[in-house]
Amino acid sequence: MKHVRREILSRTVLTRTGIPGYDWCLNPYVGCEHGCSYCYASFMKRFTGHTEPWGAFVDAKVNAPDVLRRQLRRARRGSVLVGTVTDAYQPIEREYRLTRRCLEALAERQFPVSVLTRSPLCVRDADVFRRFEDLSVGFSIPTDDDEVRKRFEPHAPPIPARIEALRTLHREGIRTYVFAGPLLPMNPPRLVELVGEAADEVLVDRLNYQEKVVRLYRAAGLERYLEPAWFDRAAGELRRGFERRGVPVSVLFG
């Protein structure tokens, strides 16, 4: 897919969030080149003026690190979730390094941080992660099957690459977690086996029933994976499998 990239300026980058467990969110980019078919953040198109499909554009907030430093001088210390409506480590980050520079600013103030990504690129910033007293890095791993990933997340990094990055950070002593959500068609015991003890925590969530996603399931003959009973069964298998390994699991639905 051809991506439209542009540079923009932002007045604020650290914003309040209602996500449970977090005070602030931080998104150094607008849009996401991963363009996952089920992404809830596609609503952002209404506010950007972009006519391109979701996944075909990304705006880099080129002044984000400087704006963040100014905000941090006044902001009340609280937990920050990085990457709520974008992937902070999508391909454009290799060039712009906005996420890295924002994390450096947050480390100076020792704000607690959680990063959620699909990208092994985050391993590049392990040196910055280690500067934090309180930081975790999570990987979105919604299936064990990379063929399923290709169908629903064709432009996102392969599942094996995410798991290897998870293991790398875990070996380096960085707190890690897996976000198994939305649950895509999968073999839960196999996902447990692949991740093993490389995660300190696992979060499980179900699928957002957008019509375009339902159409994808139907076209692929995967309707059975839309049944509520399947989500309950898969979540239960993941919980039992990981907890047998000593990894705590939180199921975010039901």
Residue 235's CATH number = 3.20.20.70
**Average confidence (pLDDT) over 82-95:** 96
Give the mean pLDDT of 180-190.
96
**pLDDT > 90: what percent of the chain?**
83
Residue 200 has what pLDDT?
98
Mean pLDDT of 211-225: 89
Mean pLDDT score across all residues of the chain: 93
Tell me the per-residue pLDDT of 6-23, one tens digit each, with 9 for 90 and over: 999 999 999 999 999 999
Cβ partners under 8 Å of residue 88, min gap 6? 26, 27, 28, 29, 82, 99, 115, 117
Looking at the chain, the number of H-run helices and the number of E-run strands are: 10, 11
- pLDDT of 169 higher than 70: yes
Instruction: With a cut of 70, say whether residue 89 has pLDDT above it.
Output: yes
User: What pLDDT does 197 receive?
Assistant: 96
Residues 181-191, buried b or exposed e (16+ Cβ, 10 A)? bbbbbbebeeb
* Strand arrangement of the beta sheet that strand 249-251 belongs to: 14-16, 24-26, 80-82, 113-117, 135-140, 175-180, 201-204, 249-251
The pLDDT of residue 42 is 64
Do the Cβ atoms of 246 and 197 come closer than 8 Å?
A: yes
pLDDT digit string (tens) for 31-85?
Answer: 999 888 887 656 665 666 677 777 678 999 999 999 999 999 999 999 999 999 9
Instruction: Look at the chain and report how many structural domains it folds into.
Output: 1
Q: Find the domain containing 66 and state its range.
A: 4-251
Element (H, E) at 4: strand 4-8
